[in-house]
Amino acid sequence: MNEPLKSRREREKQARYDAILNAAELVFSEKGYERTSMDDIARTASLSRALLYVYFKDKAAIQRGIMLRAGQSLVTRFENALGSAETGLAQIRAMGEAYYRFYLEEPDYFSALTKASTAIADADEEQTREMLCSKNELMQLMTAAIHTGLEDGTMSRERISSPAQTALYLRGALHGVIMRAN
């Protein structure tokens, strides 16, 4: 009997956590991060300010929670891109297109990820681990596509000595192109 209660409690806790992030996303997009207060987020989430602090120590922790959501959204897009193409080169192309669509369709998440590398310095241990895992998942998906491309011959072994390094370069270059173009 304890187990169903525990899972119900965990579901309720997760629902509150999600409600706080949903409220924060809404308020941040309306007022901007700097002008948003913890009271604004608590009010929008229909929670007391005290309960809000049970879940997040400050506004920056909430922002990092949103960054985690953004990272998972991009990981899902990359996973779908990887599964949508046969050759390694086509997979990388699909990931590039998915990244651009992410920028167009989820600009707040794109912006959050742009700030993630500096925000991670202030994250607690769990958020740091989750943020790094999300970043690593993205790199692993890109690296896997490059390995596929090397295996199937759609990418050159003479030009690519390190798939991981190439993935890192491609991700940075793609981000730079998107930032520059808009």
Tell me the residue type at 59: K
CA–CA distances in Å: residue 135 to residues 22, 46, 127, 130: 22, 32, 12, 9
58-181 CATH, one of 2.130.10.10, 3.10.20.90, 1.10.357.10, 2.60.40.10: 1.10.357.10
Backbone angles phi, psi at 47, to 5 degrees: -125, 160
pLDDT at 4: 61
pLDDT at 106: 95
Distance (Å, whole) CA 81 – CA 95 = 5
Helix (DSSP H) and strand (DSSP E) numbers for the chain: 8, 0
pLDDT at 125: 81
Q: For the domain 1-56, what is the CATH superfamily, name and number?
A: Homeodomain-like (1.10.10.60)
pLDDT in tens, 74-95: 999 999 999 999 999 999 999 9
Distance (Å, whole) CA 36 – CA 28 = 6
- Domain ranges in the chain are 1-56, 58-181
**C-beta separation of 22 from 62 below 8 A:** no
Ranges in the chain, pLDDT < 50: 1
Please tell me the pTM assigned to this model. 0.84
Other beta carbons within 10 Å of 179? 11
pLDDT at 130: 81
pLDDT at 112: 87
Burial tier of 109 (Cβ tally within 10 Å: 0-12, 13-18, 19+) = buried
116 CB contacts (<8 Å, ≥6 apart)?
64, 67, 70, 71, 131, 135
pLDDT at 124: 76
